[in-house]
Structure 1
Amino acid sequence: MKYLTAMYISLSESLGIYTPDQLYELFTNKQHSMPISRHRAAIMQSRVFFFCAIFAVLVPTWSLIDLLFLPSPLWAELLVIRILSAIAFIFLAWQARKEPDLNRARWLLAGMLSITPLFYLVSDHWLQAYELSGTEQVIAELYALLPFVMIAGLTLFPLTLKELLFFATPMLAVVVLSSLPQVKSDIPQAVSTIWLFSLILGVAIFASLNQLRYMLSQVNRASYDVLTGLLTRRAGIEMLDLQFRLSLMSDSPLSILYLDLDHFKTVNDIYGHDAGDVVLRTAAQQLNDVVRKGDSVIRWGGEEFIVILPTAAPNEADDVINRIMHAGLGLRPDGAPVTASIGVAEVQADAVNDWKTMIELADHRMYTAKIQGRARSLGVNQAELLWPVAATSNKLAEKSVAQHEVAEES
């Protein structure tokens, strides 16, 4: 038991696993964020494209070797399935150039991995029908390596354990089926073949999971703000671009909220940046807790936040704003409620052509809300919502500002 525990710790450390959540992330993608899923999909599709493009050339080209060493009837039979396989690879390569999507990437990888085992099963059936010897037999035995090549190829894909088992199980079944001994003397060969395949599969699983773990750490570091845990501006731009295109494709509404915390500079000036960091973290946590499932909150910069509301019409955006206002964004160090000025934009009601215009429009409305007294939102058709504690909060905040200005002058 002690040996197994030490082995588990060593394996966990080699994969960079230190918490149950990190282990769960390697088992399934249910907890993976949108940036991670998109990044995985992009990597998987680009590598599927590369392999399919290569195989589309190499598979039919190999027929020249078959022509030199195999009987003509057998060469003609193999040429047919080689051409069909090449056509299938070309189709998969073409599909892999489309917009990255995790489900599409999985099916493309499944398609690529299924072509070779099917090719092997058909070719093995035809090869068994001929009496081959010498060089012919050597060429024929090379076909048996195809499943091994494909299982080794899994090392280049960042896959979860669940996905790896899904892709590897059919290939393992093909190897076991093709290795079943016909006579007792074939048993050692069958056992060694299955053992070798299992060994390569184990290496592939370890390499793929290690690649996924590294990718998760890098994407999380680049996509999430260290202070607030929200999406960074860079990751948020990718999300905005994706959601905007999805909105246009499905002709569905899409709203964004542009929030700027009121009088935040005075918190840093009077109470210090540590106190300001606490205010930012609390506001970010409150936003995350209040928005709908499927919405995205971005730290746009400093004390500015953007909330993406997919499928939300202006009235639904107002519902989210009301929840934010009533839940609050925490308290300032002086005990006053934290409020924000909010600008709203919606793709259909505002008839915008790109997400950058949406941002500019929401930013302009946020700035107008600040001019009109802060602690309020300004939306489509100048629709205005006031923070429930607007008067009290602004009075306390303005008092702090005045006291700070007096202190500076003296």
Structure 2
Amino acid sequence: MSALRYLLNVITGGSGEKISHQRIAGLISARLHSHLLVRRRALVILSRIRLMTIVGMVLFLAGILMDVASFPPETSSSLALFRGISALLLLGLMVVTRQKDTLRDAYVALGIFFAINLVFQGLYQPLILPQFVESIDGLTSASYAIFPFLVVVCIAIFPLTFKETFLTLILIFTSELLILSLMPSQVNPMPGLGILLSLMGASMLCAFSSISQLSYMLSLVEQASVDSLTNCYSRNSGEEILDVQFRIAQRQKADLAVVFLDIDNFKIINDQFGHEAGDRILAEAAASMKRNLRDSDVLIRWGGEEFVMLLPNTNAAGAGKAIRRMRTNGFGLRPDGQPVTASIGITDIRSVGTKSWTDLVDQADEEMYRVKTHGKNNVSVVRIANTSIAS
């Protein structure tokens, strides 16, 4: 583990002691990535895919003129057909990904992008294989010779985990081995094997760059999105997550519940015991909430002593059961030894009049206020019974 920490220290340029096990796991796999990091990474990958499709289309079409000047008509016409089809496929990929914003969409787009380029490589090499393998005598043959390297270099522009990078390289090298196996028997295979070894070296550097990007992005997202006191999402980042989750729930016709929680009589704690005691209460309450939420749930510090919880694939009734368990486990103790209590409002996406995530938060806030005005330390669920659940 110390060697891995040293390597990550080199990658990030930071202090090795600050690299947690969770950070290491986040660089290896996306399974533990936060909702916000997943969102940001998906947008970055998709935007760079669109940029690369534009660059690819221009290069594919410009290469037709080079082929016409360098190869016989029969060969150049076949290459022009392959280039034209590849350019059209890239155009289609750019159009299809314009409205996409999920990590799954990013994975699909990434796979299609590399598949288009690898299929093109597999189609052109049998046509120019003797010249390609034996010698490079001009700009055209040189461009075809470096094409496999250009495909590998594309990995470096995407923020990918070790697992994602490894799977992408497996796809590329499996294709390269398949292409080498199609070489005519009379062609000396050694130059092709040399190219393959060179690709392996280049791929290691590209993988290093890709994982370094992810590490840097992970640090930035953590610093910008997490409230330092409670270790919850800040309001700005929470609003972005709410927007994404609301649109996903609408698109998939799935349940989505929002819980608005306000710690009771918090001002008295600050006034009587000081702000340090108040900060400790907030941190302990947030930690208690997190322990009682699922990995897929989101906890946001909305402001002051207010928290918003987002529960995907859960309706208001299910959220009510989860909150009852949370209240049973408690939110910690006040400085005077009394238990910390909270007023809580719950709503879901099925509620009447819910057209946006702001409607959900407003409805949950109204239910919380209903509890505040009727004695506090209780729960109110919208559109279920509109009555408080006894503490």
Indicate whether the TM-score tops 0.5. Answer: yes
> Residue in 1 aligned with 2:237?
235
Is this contact kept in 1: 2:42–2:101, CA < 8 A? yes
* Residue aligned with 2:98, SS: coil
Q: CA deviation at 1:195?
A: 3.1
> Residue in 2 aligned with 1:55?
56
Moved more, 38-47 or 306-315: 306-315
**CA distance in 2 between partners of 1:229 and 1:110 (Å):** 35
The answer on 1:386 being equivalent to 2:390 is: yes
**CA distance in 2 between partners of 1:292 and 1:201 (Å):** 38
- Residues 251-288 of structure 1: per-residue CA shift (max 9 Å, x gap): 33322111110011111111111111111111111111
1:345-384 equivalences under 5 Å are 345-380=347-382, 381-384=385-388
**CA distance in 2 between partners of 1:292 and 1:193 (Å):** 48
**CA distance in 2 between partners of 1:131 and 1:154 (Å):** 24
1:140-179 equivalences under 5 Å are 140-176=141-177, 178=179
**CA distance in 1 between partners of 2:344 and 2:165 (Å):** 45
Bigger CA radius of gyration: 1
> Residue in 2 aligned with 1:266?
268
**CA distance in 2 between partners of 1:202 and 1:183 (Å):** 30
* Residue aligned with 2:236, SS: helix
- Residues 312-335 of structure 1: per-residue CA shift (max 9 Å, x gap): 323222212211221111110101
> Residue in 2 aligned with 1:106?
107
> Residue in 2 aligned with 1:390?
none
> Residue in 1 aligned with 2:70?
69
Q: CA deviation at 1:175?
A: 3.8
Q: CA deviation at 1:183?
A: 8.8
- Residues 329-388 of structure 1: per-residue CA shift (max 9 Å, x gap): 11101011100111222222333211212222222222221121111122224220233x
- Residues 157-196 of structure 1: per-residue CA shift (max 9 Å, x gap): 0011111111112322444555679899957634542332
Is this contact kept in 2: 1:279–1:330, CA < 8 A? yes
* Residue aligned with 2:30, SS: coil
**CA distance in 2 between partners of 1:132 and 1:293 (Å):** 52
Inter-CA distance 311–110: structure 2 relative to 1 (3 Å threshold): closer
Give the residue type in structure 1 aligned to 2:23: Q
**CA distance in 2 between partners of 1:73 and 1:254 (Å):** 59
Give the residue type in structure 1 aligned to 2:25: Y
Is this contact kept in 2: 1:69–1:135, CA < 8 A? no
- Residues 46-75 of structure 1: per-residue CA shift (max 9 Å, x gap): 000110122123202210111122211111
The number of residue pairs the alignment matches comes to 383
* Residue aligned with 2:261, SS: strand
Is this contact kept in 2: 1:70–1:136, CA < 8 A? no
**CA distance in 1 between partners of 2:286 and 2:67 (Å):** 65
1:187-206 equivalences under 5 Å are 189-206=191-208
Is this contact kept in 1: 2:136–2:142, CA < 8 A? no
Give the residue type in structure 1 aligned to 2:80: L
Give the residue type in structure 2 aligned to 1:213: S
The answer on 1:12 being equivalent to 2:8 is: yes
Inter-CA distance 245–188: structure 2 relative to 1 (3 Å threshold): closer
Give the residue type in structure 2 aligned to 1:350: V
Is this contact kept in 2: 1:60–1:86, CA < 8 A? yes
What TM-score does the superposition give when structure 1 sets the normalisation length?
0.86
Is this contact kept in 1: 2:125–2:132, CA < 8 A? no
Q: Matched residues, percent identical?
A: 29
Is this contact kept in 1: 2:132–2:144, CA < 8 A? no
**CA distance in 2 between partners of 1:310 and 1:209 (Å):** 29
- Residues 180-227 of structure 1: per-residue CA shift (max 9 Å, x gap): 798999576345423321221111011111110000111111222111
Give the residue type in structure 2 aligned to 1:102: L
Give the residue type in structure 1 aligned to 2:390: L
What TM-score does the superposition give when structure 2 sets the normalisation length?
0.90
**CA distance in 2 between partners of 1:7 and 1:328 (Å):** 41
Give the residue type in structure 1 aligned to 2:35: M
The answer on 1:115 being equivalent to 2:111 is: no
Give the unaligned 5+ runs of structure 1. 388-410
- Residues 104-160 of structure 1: per-residue CA shift (max 9 Å, x gap): 211211111122222122111112478999997652342121110011111110011
Moved more, 149-158 or 194-203: 194-203
> Residue in 1 aligned with 2:320?
318
Give the residue type in structure 1 aligned to 2:337: G
Is this contact kept in 2: 1:247–1:254, CA < 8 A? yes
**CA distance in 2 between partners of 1:172 and 1:24 (Å):** 25
Give the residue type in structure 2 aligned to 1:88: L
Is this contact kept in 2: 1:28–1:160, CA < 8 A? yes
> Residue in 1 aligned with 2:83?
82
Give the unaligned 5+ runs of structure 2. none
> Residue in 2 aligned with 1:43?
44
Is this contact kept in 1: 2:131–2:141, CA < 8 A? no
**CA distance in 2 between partners of 1:304 and 1:131 (Å):** 66
Is this contact kept in 2: 1:179–1:194, CA < 8 A? no
**CA distance in 2 between partners of 1:291 and 1:105 (Å):** 28
Inter-CA distance 7–282: structure 2 relative to 1 (3 Å threshold): closer
